[in-house]
Structure 1
Amino acid sequence: MSDAATRNGRRLAVVKLGSSTLTDGEGRVDRAYLADLAYQVNRARKAGWDVIIVSSGSIPCGLEALGMPLERPKHMPTVQAAASVGMRALLAAYDQVFSPYGILTSLVLLTRRDTADRTAYLHARDTFHRLVELGCVPIVNENDTVSVEQIKFGDNDTLAALVACLADADRVVILSDIEGLFTANPQTHPDATLIKRVDRITPAIMEGATGAGSAVGSGGMITKLTSARVLGAAGIPLVICHGRAESAVLHALDDEPIGTLFTAKERRHKITPRKLWIALGDAVRGRITVDDGAAEAITLRGKSLLFVGISRFEGEFVAGGVVDVLDESGYVIARGLARCDARDMRTGEDIAIHRDELIVFE
């Protein structure tokens, strides 16, 4: 999807920082770490990379500014109030570390409501393109001040994948509190080894993923792998590495060995903005399991999903709702827009999801 020639030969990276990477041992935003990040971004820009940063940290910043305990509150209005105060403080911190290099930052706050509508999705894409053209480093976060469960991305790994697709990025770097993808959970399996390269995310890899590993962050390896699958379909490589490793961003962008690289194969056909919007722009409303014949038709022969190939379904989705398509083993092989309500799934006679509204994962 990305065409560096349209950006005067420059490439675009989306760099995502989680709260656990951004904060120190006491839960406060680590200004020294941010300063080193700005140094790396400045060097990357000189080497031909433009950078968008997807950053957590508004809630810890807000709790610190309000003089409150740094553990995430359970009271939602308090969380949203902290995010409101903290976003200002976080952006000020970014401005402070980037200003010595003459780099302007901008703030972009998103919720699913902003991307569930395709027109809004395309407007957001144009805004990102223009900000990069103007030489800014956009700082992107979920709008925690107004987000509720129904419109939350849930974690910034998903948000980073969405931004990368919106902005036609050439690479995504997730700076985490772990070194990358391991053969097993290294916290419980000391003999686990780092997987340095993944060309295909298999069902076994997905099954081995765990949930959130930190009390500070909201994401885990499963969300990173889900993002990697969508990015792979869009042709965008992903690097997951430890955010505190020396020159982590520069190594990830220079193709030097660090963390885990999820490669992106050449796409067999162009992934349209509409399909990317389907993949990441709205919350999944249901799940459809298909038989082996339908799975093969979808993944290998480029066909639409027919009602006859559906084994079972779940969820209260409506026509136009985003649904996951699973094979008989329970592995998600595609995502698309249902052509009818869930209650009508048994009575359909033709196409359940049209190929033009179906994105297939590798």
Structure 2
Amino acid sequence: MTHAARPRTAVIKIGSSTLTDAEGKVDRAYLADLAHQINRVRKAGWNVIIVSSGSIPCGLESLGLPLKRPKDMPTVQAASSVGQRALIAAYDQVFSPYGMLTSLVLLTRRDTADRNAYLHARDTFARLLELGAVPIVNENDTVSVEQIKFGDNDTLAALVACLADADRVVILSDIDGLYTANPQIDPKAALIRRVDRLTPEIMAGATGAGSAVGSGGMITKLTSARVLGAAGIPLVICHGRAEDAVVRSLADDPIGTLFTARERRHEITPRKLWIALGDSVKGRLVVDAGAACALVEHGSSLLSVGIRRVEEPFEAGDVVDVLDESGYVIARGLARCDAHAAREEAGTVIHRDEMVVFE
């Protein structure tokens, strides 16, 4: 007797610029086509979690405010409060004809910062998928402040994928994928179909947020790709309005850019996810070949003896990147000392339990 294959899980992230029309309103026709595609991939054996932007544009539309992201936090939070209701209603309207039940999951970094909260969130996602629901996930902008924000839904999608032990993440964007340069200003820019390693050259080609309604840019997508690669989860970035984008992004040879992932080695702990996806990086350490090998091959802590130079100052408790001598970021971790002590004093600069290794 043959056993049915384990359902695979896809996390589909939809950006505001993909979800809204030229006027900045939520595009109902696009949502209807999305529901049709989600129904097809579910029949093909995929569980689907959607990380959706759009609550703030929905709220701005409902409140009769200008359709561009407000600059003051109370208006952002008010628009989100009104918009979450409208957004989930729009999803439910287009998903229900296919017999797909949606659920709303709102997260902040606080909800996943400690292990107990992380495990509860993980179990909730698992149970929702077992019950056949399609979770619609968004950051809880109504209560989020800077200290507990993910900052963008690319980061949130990466965290949800780790929570749900996903098999693939798809970012539906307003660009076809990763290019060798910014295609809006460089006519020679070429699409990169596959990325096995995020080199310094690739990172240098990334730019910031590009649309009036979104908060993420290519650099946040690459940061997510790096963390997902460490967790063993492939990522696809493609144009969200390409024909059958969702279906084709989950194919063996997907459209857009595929960021491959190595075989899974171990779970990334909640604390390590917090470090990798949370606070902005404050410093950069360049290590010698021996230290790089110890980190990557043996999972060692970073000792001061292996540091070649400090490129940016930092304090104890700051998040810092660790680079090899070629300029490739091999790890990110929480510094146990400041930049001066890292250079001048012998000891552990980053402990292995507070460091994510990317290769």
Return the match for 2:52 from 49, 55, 60: 55
Alpha carbons 1:16, 1:157 under 8 Å: kept:
yes
Would you say the 8 A contact 1:115–1:121 is kept in 2? Answer: yes
Give the structure-2-normalised TM-score. 0.91
Does structure 1 conserve the Cα–Cα contact (< 8 Å) formed by 2:296 and 2:357? yes
- SS state of the match for residue 192, structure 2? coil
Please show how residues 1-362 of structure 1 align to structure 2 within 5 Å: 9-267=6-264, 269-274=265-270, 276-280=272-276, 282-284=278-280, 286-293=282-289, 294-310=291-307, 311-312=309-310, 314-318=313-317, 322-327=319-324, 331-339=328-336, 345=342, 349-362=346-359
Given residue 350 of structure 1, which amino acid in structure 2 is its aligned partner? G
Q: Matched residue of 1:147: which SS?
A: coil
Contact 2:8/2:166, CA 8 A, preserved across alignment: yes
Question: Secondary structure of 1:166's partner?
Answer: helix
Map Cα deviations across residues 226-255 of structure 1 (whole Å, 9 max, x no partner).
111111111111110000001000011122
**d(CA) in 2 for partners of 1:315 and 1:78?**
34
Partner deviation per Cα, 1:42-69 (whole Å, 9 max, x = no partner):
1111110000000000000001001111
- Give distance in 1, aligned partners of 2:94 and 2:303: 54
Q: Which amino acid aligns with 1:287?
A: G
Q: Deviations over 1:284-326 (max 9, x none)?
A: 46424133242343234432201223433633443xx644323
Change in Cα spacing, 1:202 to 1:288, as seen in structure 2 (3 Å) is closer
Q: Secondary structure at the match of 1:191?
A: coil
Partners of 1:177 and 1:37 in 2: CA distance:
15
Task: Name the amino acid aligned to 2:283.
Answer: R
Maintained 8 Å contact 2:272/2:353: no
AA of the residue aligned to 1:315: F
Do 1:53 and 1:137's aligned partners in 2 also have CA atoms closer than 8 Å?
A: yes
CA distance in 2: counterparts of 1:250 and 1:79, whole angstroms: 33
Counterpart-to-counterpart distance in 1, 2:297 and 2:234: 22
CA contact (8 A) 1:290 1:328 kept: yes
Q: State the alpha-carbon separation in 1 of the partners of residues 115 and 336 from structure 2.
A: 17
5+ long unaligned stretches in structure 2: none
**Does structure 1 retain, via aligned residues, the 8 Å contact 2:182–2:207?**
yes
Structure 1 residues 74 and 357 mapped into 2: Cα distance closer, same or farther (>3 Å)?
closer
| Aligned 8 A contact 2:272 2:354 in 1 | no
Does the 8 Å CA contact 2:92/2:101 hold for their aligned counterparts? yes
What is the deviation of 1:276? 4.9
Return 5+ residue gaps in structure 1 as ranges: none
TM superposition shift of 1:264: 1.0
Task: Quote the Cα distance in structure 1 between the aligned partners of 2:150 and 2:47.
Answer: 24
2:300 and 2:160 map into 1 onto residues whose CA distance is 28
Distance across 1 between alignment mates of 2:301 and 2:315 = 22
Q: State the one-letter code of the partner of 1:210.
A: T
Change (3 A) 1:162 1:131: same
Task: Tell me how far 1:358 sits from its aligned partner.
Answer: 2.2
**DSSP-derived class of the 2:209 partner:** coil
Q: What CA distance in whole angstroms lies between the structure 2 residues aligned with 1:35 and 1:180?
A: 23
Query: Cα offset for 1:198?
Result: 1.0
Percent identity for Structure 1 against Structure 2: 74
Shift of 1:213: 1.8
Helix, strand or coil at the partner of 1:21: helix
Worse-superposed segment, 130-139 or 322-331 = 322-331
Task: Flag the 1:291–1:199 CA change in 2: closer, same or farther, 3 A.
Answer: closer
For residues 135 and 204 of structure 2, the distance between their equivalents in structure 1, rounded to whole angstroms, comes to: 34
